Amino acid sequence: MNAIISASELADALRSERPPVLLDVRWQLSTAAASGQPFDGRAAYASGHIPGAVFVDLDRALASTPGPRGRHPLPDLDVFGAAMRRAGVSAGTPVVAYDGGIGWAAARAWWLLRWTGHPDVRVLDGGLPAWDGPLEAEAEAEAEAEASAPAEGDFVPKPAEGAVLDADGAAALARSGVLLDARAGERYRGEVEPIDPVGGHIPGALSAPTSDNVDADGRFRPAAELRARFGELGATRDVPVGVYCGSGVSAAHEVLALEVAGIPAALYVGSWSEWTSDPARPVAVGPDPQ
């Protein structure tokens, strides 16, 4: 099954006898907008969302409290499972996640559901900007609450083995396989570091920014192009592949791109924010992986 879905395919699916559960996962990495106020995904959802979609708060449902394990460590599975069930997610129901267009947050929801055993999850390619159908404001949804509120789902998370890397596993994979750094190249090289205390990368990791996964419209490049891109970095189905970023969100987008290319990959959820929390861990700078 393809891991992404186009807007036209989603429109058809929503009219079908087995419509997907829609998760609105709008979120931004930046801590404040131009107004000086933090981005409010809940408010963006309230102002207009795809009809029937349920808002999912990335920081509360798709991650746990920031700390030594990183800015977006794995969520408590009971909390995550409860959030998914409230959204109407069941084991036998298809799910589509979307965000504001960059794809990172939707990919985090996709990855968590896949990692915990859901068999039918896709991401709306291009996010909400790709959707040309009607939008529903929260007031309209509340007016039809009894008709539109999702029935409680039955999904129970059951994590898969081998899909998650810790710091030691990421360091080992950088030597024995392919470890991709999904952040912007200047952060990988250590030229700038706007968030974490130290710039640079995990020794042996290769720079592979998520921006190269998509075209100018924010849609994923064709599978063949993605295979060629990752193949040039040595990432193929024949070698173990892992991905990290700053806090395990944009790296989920890279794992999704690899999935589109037919290449399985593990996610280092703690990523650079966890790696740099221990000053004893080595840091490489510059374009050279080592």
Annotated active-site positions, please?
A: 245
Backbone angles phi, psi at 124, to 5 degrees: -70, 115
Three-state DSSP state, 79 = helix
- CB-CB contact of 133 with 156 (8 Å): no
- The one-letter code for the residue type at 59 is D
- CB-CB contact of 78 with 223 (8 Å): no
Helices (H), the chain: 7-14, 41-47, 58-61, 77-86, 104-115, 138-143, 145-148, 167-176, 185-188, 223-232, 250-260, 271-275
Cα torsion 221, 223, 224, 226: sign: positive
Contacts of 24 (CB under 8 A, 6+ apart): 41, 45, 49, 50, 53, 54, 55, 56, 98, 99, 128
The bridge status of strand 121-124 relative to strand 95-98 is parallel
